[in-house]
Amino acid sequence: MVSSFLLIIFFILFSSFLIHVHSSSSLSPNHRQALEISIGIGSGGEGGGGGGGGGESGESEACQCTASPPEIPPQPQPQPQPRPLVFLDERLAVVFPVIQRFKNLITSDPYNVTSTWVGSNVCSYKGFYCESPPDNSSALSMASVDFNGYKLRAPSLVGFIDSLPDIALFHANTNEFGGLIPSNISNLRYLYELDLSNNKFTGAFPTAVFGIKSLTFFDLRFNSFNGLVPSQIFAQPLDVLFINNNNFLQTLPQNLGSTTSFYLTLANNKFNGPIPRSIGKASKTLVEVLFLNNELSGCLPYEIGYLKEATVFDASSNCITGPLPCSFGCLAKMEILNFAGNLLYGVIPEVVCALGNLANLTLSDNYFTGVGPLCKKLIQSGVLDVRMNCIHGLENQRSIAECAMFFAHVKICPFFPTFSLIPCQISHNGWGENSNKSSPGTGGSGYYTRKRSKPSRAPSPTYSALLRHRL
Ligand SMILES: *[C@@H]1O[C@H](CO)[C@@H](O)[C@H](O)[C@H]1NC(C)=O
Ligand SMILES: *[C@@H]1O[C@H](CO)[C@@H](O)[C@H](O)[C@H]1NC(C)=O
Ligand SMILES: *[C@@H]1O[C@H](CO)[C@@H](O)[C@H](O)[C@H]1NC(C)=O
Ligand SMILES: *[C@@H]1O[C@H](CO)[C@@H](O)[C@H](O)[C@H]1NC(C)=O
Ligand SMILES: *[C@@H]1O[C@H](CO)[C@@H](O)[C@H](O)[C@H]1NC(C)=O
């Protein structure tokens, strides 16, 4: 069957050759191509589509063939050549080898993500997203990488993230990346979200990020970075800074309040020393701040009371001492205020309990000694937790001996008069600036029912930063 088919094809070809040999000196390109294709079929895939040289010698080969018509001249076995890759954009051609190199570095891929990283359409690879770059609306570039939760393991990101020149978002929560953060990521002109959370990074704070002018979201939480957090990070124009759950050990930098971040999470490290007074400078921006579970000491600066945009302030589980500043009565938007597990003492200021938006005031495990009527109402409504303090007449308090021991060695705060300062206008018709209570002194007012009827809150961004895995 096959050989008679070959024979027919051959004679058709041969006769057309003879005509051409007589009429023109060389084969036209079209005919040469036709020949290549025919021989390709005839040789039954042997040598694949690579009959490259077949038609080159046109005339003479055709003459040789006349000597033994049924046989196809033996051809050099050409290597099957990979189909040339065609890219949607030259910028994608540039990142293709970068991705393939990185793929080869990956030693664990439990969800088989990298099995999709084949072919020239890099925009269809799992975890990669293409978009038009800002500098050329008709181009297409690798704009974001989202590996959140893929559990990929690679010893380093060097040669990868720094070699995706148009990258704007890099999200890699819950992977096993390690090594150093490449220092020249500072040249990445569009990078604005860098999430390296819950990986295996160690060593010093990645100072390369200071050069990234576009960066607004920076998340290093749940790694093993150690040493110092350079003060420059608080001068960086960030919106979000999550560096919780690392091993940073240092006194909080004095310029902390220069931060432009709305969300600042330094929790679960070994920061020590007092909360810097400069924090008041962040009054226009700071919305949520988490200092919890560090080794902070000293007294609370009354400047915290300037944070008029703040809704969450949590410095629980530290060693902060002194009274609660009355300036906290200016925190008109505050919803969650948590200083549990410190060494605070004094009377809980009524102006704080009067805050109109307060949903959770946790002051347990301190050494407070008194509460007024407004605070007592908050205790009844479950908003204020003062268990394990030294408040006479309340249940679940520390023993008299324990309290006596504490007050025998109590630390007096510097700037003591500032603790009674109230740097805002507080209306006496209901204390808190924004509050609008019908009758603050009487039980069962709309104030508390409003608190209770508050729908279950969406988790705050900073508190969700305390979870290892991005939601
Ligand atoms: C991963 O992909 C390879 C190749 O596509 C396939 O053979 C394998 O079964 C896949 N494994 C899992 C766990 O999906
Ligand atoms: C914009 O991108 C397109 C597509 O890649 C390209 O052909 C064009 O030359 C680029 N224009 C400029 C000004 O770089
Ligand atoms: C960083 O350095 C690597 C290797 O030296 C280079 O390939 C890459 O393009 C550089 N990246 C940037 C953003 O400058
Ligand atoms: C207040 O916050 C603490 C600490 O996060 C939490 O344990 C407690 O359940 C909260 N109380 C209310 C009433 O939401
Ligand atoms: C207080 O409540 C009253 C009645 O609900 C309302 O008319 C008034 O505008 C409120 N004032 C403020 C400052 O919210």
- Would you state the pLDDT for residue 235? 95
CA distance 362 to 382: 10
Using alpha carbons, list the distances in angstroms from residue 168 to 55, 137, 164, 184: 50, 15, 9, 15
Q: Is the CB of 89 under 6 A from ligand 2?
A: yes
Q: What are the tokens at 438?
A: 């019908």
From atom 1 of ligand 1, which residue's Cα is the shortest distance away?
112
Give just the sign of the alpha carbon dihedral 263, 269, 271, 274: positive
Give me 169's structure tokens. Answer: 């978002």
The CATH architecture assigned to 94-418 reads: Alpha-Beta Horseshoe (3.80)
Domain boundaries, the chain: 94-418
**What mean pLDDT do residues 331-337 have?**
96
pLDDT(68) > 90: no
Radius of gyration, alpha carbons of the chain: 36
Instruction: State yes or no: pLDDT of 53 exceeds 80.
Output: no
Ligand 2 site-directed mutation target among 123, 132, 136, most atoms within 8 Å of CB: 136
pLDDT exceeds cutoff 80 at 55: no
Burial of 99 (0-12, 13-18, 19+ CB in 10 A): buried
Ligand 1 atom closest to 112 (CA): 1
Q: Per-residue pLDDT averaged across 74-88, rounded?
A: 75
pLDDT of 118-133, one tens digit each? Answer: 999 999 999 999 999 9
Q: Separation of 182 CA from ligand 2 center, angstroms?
A: 29
Give, using CA atoms, the residue closest to atom 11 of ligand 1: 112
| pLDDT attached to residue 47 | 34
233 has a pLDDT exceeding 80: yes
The atom of ligand 3 lying closest to the CA of 186 is 13
| 146 touches ligand 2 (CB under 6 Å) | no
In the reported structure, the alpha carbon of residue 167 is separated from the centroid of ligand 1 by a whole-number distance in angstroms of: 28
Q: Burial letters for 290-301: b for 16+ Cβ neighbours within 10 Å, e otherwise?
A: bbbbbebbbbbb
164 forms bridges with which residues in the sheet?
none
Q: Which atom of ligand 2 is nearest to the CA of 136?
A: 1
pLDDT recorded at residue 189: 93
**Cβ < 6 Å from ligand 4: which residues?**
338, 360, 362, 382
pLDDT digits (tens, 9 = 90+) for 1-51: 444 444 444 444 444 433 343 333 333 334 333 333 333 333 333 333 333
94 lines ligand 2 (CB under 6 A): no
162 CB within 6 A, ligand 3? yes
Q: What's the 140 CA to ligand 2 centre distance in angstroms?
A: 9
Q: Is 115 in the pocket of ligand 1 (CB under 6 A)?
A: yes
Residue among 382, 380, 390, 333 nearest 362 (CA): 382
pLDDT the model gives residue 464: 86
Ligand 2 in contact with 90 (CB < 6 A)?
yes
Phi-psi region of 285 (alpha: psi -120 to 50; beta: other; left: phi over 0): alpha
CA-nearest residue, atom 10 of ligand 4: 360
Q: What is the mean pLDDT of residues 293-311?
A: 96
User: Is the minimum distance from the CB of 112 to ligand 1 under 6 angstroms?
Assistant: yes
Residue 302 C-beta-side C-alpha neighbours within 13 Å: 18
Q: List residues bridging with 344 in a β-sheet.
A: 322
Q: Ligand 1 centre from 129 Cα, in Å? A: 22
| From 8-17, 154-163, 309-318, the region with the lowest mean pLDDT | 8-17
CA of residue 80 to ligand 1 center, whole Å? 26
**What per-residue confidence (pLDDT) applies to 239?**
95
pLDDT given at position 342: 98
Distance CA 432, CA 296 (A): 28
Report which bound ligand comes closest to the CA of 433.
Answer: 5
pLDDT category, 436, cuts 50, 70, 90?
very low
Write the residue with the smallest CA distance to atom 5 of ligand 1.
115
Give me the pLDDT at residue 435, please.
42
* C-beta of 139 in contact with ligand 2 (< 6 A): yes
Residue to mutate (ligand 4; options 317, 334, 337, 362; most atoms within 8 A of CB): 362
What is the 3-state secondary structure of 158-208?
CCCHHHCCCCCEEECCCCEECCCCCHHHHHCCCCCEEECCCCCCEECCCHH
- Which one has a higher pLDDT value, 135 or 460? 135
pTM: predicted TM-score of the whole model, two decimal places = 0.76
Q: How far apart are CA 100 and CA 333, in angstroms?
A: 50
